[in-house]
Amino acid sequence: QVQLQESGPGLVKPLETLSLTCTVSGYSISSGYYWGWIRQPPGKGLEWIGNFFHGGSTFYSPSLKSRVTMSADTSKNQFSLRLTSVTAADTAVYYCTRAYCSSTSCYEFDNWGQGTLVTVSS
Amino acid sequence: SYELTQPPSVSVSPGQTASITCSGDKLGRKYVCWYQQKPGQSPVLVIYQDNKRPSGIPERFSGSNSGNTATLTISGTQAMDEADYYCQAWDISTAAVFGGGTKLTVL
């Protein structure tokens, strides 16, 4: 059974960089599927951030693309999110996800972490 | 940019059928999936590729997609089905896009 677990600071200052890590168990991230992040501001809906395939394609939200980087550490079976120049609008629960994608499209997110709240505040 | 529109809320009596719609331009040409999110929990995939159910999802959940509207149908709705439901699709301009969510109330 695939399990995903987010970790990282719960508080980030404005204009600094948000960094989160997702640890995956039950499946090797280098074996297939796409991996990525979705966020949910408190009391609001879901917003896709992006997905990547280790050693292959990357998809980023057009609205966040200039600030987002995703990477993987296969030795630890982890992947990471970096979001630069954060503002209060980036305050949200951040979920790491596994996605089923082709080389051009992602179709569904079939496994989710429990989520971690990141607050942007001075 | 591409948008998906859902009704903010839907109410249903226990045992009845609930239908939650998701509208978007030429949505029937795209794959749609649906997620259930209960308070304080992560979303769970309940329908993918328009009408497929992941392992472990009850048969009372079904989906359809045609024209500009996709529909999630819950037959014989139970109290445990009370949750927020989100549709999601992929568009060449916005990539992954979610609907705004529908709060299903089982009265």
Q: A24-74, pLDDT tens digit by residue?
A: 999 999 988 999 999 999 999 999 999 988 878 888 999 999 999 999 999
Taking an 8 Å cut-off on Cβ atoms, the answer to whether B43 and A48 are in contact is: no
Taking an 8 Å cut-off on Cβ atoms, the answer to whether A45 and B100 are in contact is: yes
Confidence tier at B1 by pLDDT (50, 70, 90) = confident
Judging contacts by C-beta atoms under 8 Å, the chain A residues touching residue B98 are 45-48
Nearest-CA distance A61 → chain B (Å): 7
Mean residue pLDDT across chain A: 95
In this structure, are residues A39 and A92 in contact, taking their beta carbons and an 8 Å threshold?
A: yes
The half-sphere exposure of B6 on its side-chain side, counting CA atoms within 13 A, is 27
pLDDT of residue B21: 98
Distance, in Å, from the CA atom of B98 to the CA atom of B107, rounded to the nearest integer, reads 26
Place of tokens 């529908």: B102
Judging contacts by C-beta atoms under 8 Å, the chain B residues touching residue A100 are 48
Q: How much of chain A exceeds pLDDT 70, in percent?
A: 100
pLDDT of B94 > 80? The answer is no
pLDDT of residue A23: 98
The pLDDT of B91-106, averaged and rounded, is 92
Confidence tier at B83 by pLDDT (50, 70, 90) = very high
Nearest-CA distance B18 → chain A (Å): 21
Nearest-CA distance A114 → chain B (Å): 6
Taking an 8 Å cut-off on Cβ atoms, the answer to whether B42 and A109 are in contact is: no
